[in-house]
Structure 1
Amino acid sequence: HLHKIAENVDHFDINQPDKELKLDRKGNSASNRDELDLLVDAFNKLQKQLKLLFSSMEKEVEHRTKELIASKEEAIRANSAKTEFLSQMSHELRTPMNAVLGFAQLLEMDESLNQIQKENAGEILIAGNHLLELINEVLDLSKIESGKPEIILEPILIYNVIMESVSLVRPLLEKKNIRLTWDSHKKNNWTISAERFRLKEVIINLLSNAIKYNSNNGEIIINCEVHDDVLRLNISDTGPGLSAEQQQQIFEPFNRAGAENTSIEGAGIGLTITKRLTHLMGGEIGVISNVGSGCCFFVEFKLIEA
């Protein structure tokens, strides 16, 4: 009998219909029950309880799964609506803003205006361009989050893109009298797989950030290094630096780590866009910093055959 009980325990299947364990014990009446009968009763009771519990768990899992699917579908719809709204909003804002900027430029060039009036027109231009930049950043982030930007990878000479990016930020460097150090004379053929326009956007974003958070008369250093077929582009500055906690948050959307108590403008999404574009091109991005010692932002891409 013990062998039969052990066999039933061994072959117990939670998915099978209830099948009570019964022992063929001749001469054993209801009034003459012993420990073996109690063991059989306990096994049958346990079997029923386990199946009830399993059935309840299955229903709970099914219910939770339906809730998760519904939540995911709702999140997708909400994200789609947000992207559509931001796209429409940016268009509605950019159209009149471009008109305002156009008139401000005409005013600034108007010879009949006095100096104060021209300065006021210049301030309109600065504020308008800043607002336009914020609108474009929000729209870019929205497009990236919805997976809309189509990245077409091609072999890119990193040297050429750095050169173009430096040329574009040169006026910003001169405005703050920041010295940029880069061994541009050491031309190389390091080639990576990326999209030229987006790679330039990444480098310009990092350079603009280094300029924005740097002090007047500061310095920015650009250098490239290769280890195990991985190219690392470093952009270092002499700004205030970041704490370990700020470094953990710096790539999060709308985070303005390092600029909370300053007059530095921005929405805090430039580095988020930079990180996501880098990842879309198969690269990595990071930062090394200490408070008071500036920052070194870097991007890494695998080298390919030229």
Structure 2
Amino acid sequence: MILIVDDTPENLISLKKVLERHNFEVDTAASGEEALKKVLKNEYVLIILDVQMPGMDGFEVAEAISGYSKAKETAIIFLSAVNTELKFITKGYSSGGLDYITKPVDMDILLLKVKTFYRIYEQSRKLIEIQNALLDEIEFRKQAERKKDEFISIASHELKTPLTSVKGYIQLLERNIDKGDIETVKKHLGKAQVQLEKLNELIADLLDISKIESGKLKFNKKHFVMDAMLDSVIEIINQSNPEFKIIREGKAELEIYADEMRIEQVVINFLTNAIKYSPGTSEVHIKLSADNDQIYLGVRDFGIGINEAQQKHVFDKFYRVEETAIHFQGLGIGLYISAEIIQRHGGEVGVKSILGEGSEFYFTLPLNQEKETD
């Protein structure tokens, strides 16, 4: 927008009409004081400022405007019918003006200057946008690098832990085999198997991340009943966590078209997280429902919960809730992989949580959808 400042009404009207005919948005002020009030409220690309005005003259107005952080970059063109001497033109520039036009105004020259200033303004704005985008991009590279370094450190630790445990159990096995203590051998074998399963899960997650990044995560979709798959998952979880009671709420005896193994992977991830982040509790609830369009599955725990600010990040790659990172192991990629799987099936993931009261992680999947989304 352009602001024209002149104490002569006919000058305001004529300049405003000419500029508006050339599709410029124009505002006017009849005094320096009025101009300053408008500059405080509005943003202007250009101010056309008369020098000879009662009260504050144009030079004083320009100097005042240059002191406003909001408007100090605004271009100013001075108009003057009297002060055409070099010293006055110099004063105009030193007051913050970028150009000086004498009256009577040659409208063609004024229009040319206005268009030039607008073009410079647009170019400057684009340069600023590019600069800001580059700064954001650099900051994103830095954050990504920090996350990568953090992830490598965590992954190294997480992979090393089960490997160290397996190595220890093998050494114990060697000693007990020599002694012929079969019961102890069986016990150590069972513990080593648990650690190997952990290692296998970590490696599987890393492979999934690699497939997602390279666009090679494929799905084997078919029709299956969610209820039947859920029974199988609950049986698996009960075997490894007999101390937890998994309570089902609702049914969905309908077929969906999806990759059963991948959907099972998501449900297992939700359930194992619910148990992992619920120390001191003994129940996890699974909510299952369906309508004509979609199926809903939610896993509700009564554990530590997640604060509102962190909830929007829990499905981000490598994200680990800060308060829990020290106490609970994990790579911070399970939920990211789960989100990718569900979204690639045309569904949605989400979380509802209250800090200290527990969380409900859920996903929805469309029913009767056979169109490939991967």
Quickly name the TM-score band, shorter chain normalised. Answer: 0.5 to 0.7
Paired with 2:201 and 2:347, the residues of 1 have a C-alpha distance of 25
Aligned to 1:212: 276
Partner SS for 2:349: strand
Q: Relative to structure 1, is the Cα distance of residues 287 and 300 closer, same or farther in structure 2, using a 3 angstrom cutoff?
A: same
Q: Could you tell me whether the CA contact under 8 Å between 2:169 and 2:188 is conserved in 1? A: no
User: Does structure 1 residue 165 correspond to structure 2 residue 229?
Assistant: no
The alpha carbon displacement at 1:13 in A equals: 8.5
Q: Relative to structure 1, is the Cα distance of residues 209 and 139 closer, same or farther in structure 2, using a 3 angstrom cutoff?
A: same
Paired with 1:305 and 1:60, the residues of 2 have a C-alpha distance of 47
AA in 1 matched with 2:312: Q
User: Does structure 1 residue 181 correspond to structure 2 residue 234?
Assistant: no
Aligned to 2:329: 265
Partner SS for 1:199: helix
Q: Could you tell me whether the CA contact under 8 Å between 1:254 and 1:268 is conserved in 2? A: yes
Sequence identity of aligned pairs in percent?
23
Paired with 1:64 and 1:216, the residues of 2 have a C-alpha distance of 52
The alpha carbon displacement at 1:237 in A equals: 1.9
The alpha carbon displacement at 1:151 in A equals: 3.5
Per-residue CA shift, 1:26-72, capped at 9, x if unaligned? xxxxxxxxxxx945425523423423541674587489779979x99
- Taking structure 2 as the reference length, the TM-score comes to 0.54
AA in 1 matched with 2:178: S
Larger radius of gyration: 2
Paired with 1:51 and 1:162, the residues of 2 have a C-alpha distance of 68
The alpha carbon displacement at 1:119 in A equals: 7.5
Q: Could you tell me whether the CA contact under 8 Å between 1:151 and 1:280 is conserved in 2? A: no
Higher relative contact order (CA 8 A, sep 6+): 1
Aligned to 1:137: 205
Q: Relative to structure 1, is the Cα distance of residues 140 and 54 closer, same or farther in structure 2, using a 3 angstrom cutoff?
A: same
AA in 1 matched with 2:236: L
Q: Could you tell me whether the CA contact under 8 Å between 1:155 and 1:192 is conserved in 2? A: yes
Q: Relative to structure 1, is the Cα distance of residues 131 and 55 closer, same or farther in structure 2, using a 3 angstrom cutoff?
A: same
Deviates more, 1:100-109 or 1:232-241: 100-109
The alpha carbon displacement at 1:199 in A equals: 0.7
What pairs up with 1:67-82 in 2 under 5 angstroms? none
Count how many residue pairs are aligned between Structure 1 and Structure 2: 272
The alpha carbon displacement at 1:180 in A equals: 1.5
Q: Could you tell me whether the CA contact under 8 Å between 1:256 and 1:267 is conserved in 2? A: no
Q: Relative to structure 1, is the Cα distance of residues 245 and 143 closer, same or farther in structure 2, using a 3 angstrom cutoff?
A: same
Partner SS for 2:324: coil
What pairs up with 1:108-257 in 2 under 5 angstroms? 108=173, 111-112=177-178, 129-174=197-242, 177-182=243-248, 189-215=253-279, 218-227=282-291, 229-252=293-316, 253-256=318-321
Partner SS for 1:149: coil
User: Does structure 1 residue 281 correspond to structure 2 residue 341?
Assistant: no
The alpha carbon displacement at 1:219 in A equals: 0.8
AA in 2 matched with 1:143: K
Partner SS for 1:249: coil
- Taking structure 1 as the reference length, the TM-score comes to 0.64
Paired with 2:230 and 2:322, the residues of 1 have a C-alpha distance of 26
The alpha carbon displacement at 1:136 in A equals: 3.3
Aligned to 1:298: 362
Paired with 1:275 and 1:228, the residues of 2 have a C-alpha distance of 23
Aligned to 1:33: none
Per-residue CA shift, 1:217-261, capped at 9, x if unaligned? 601122312345322112122323233234233223331355235
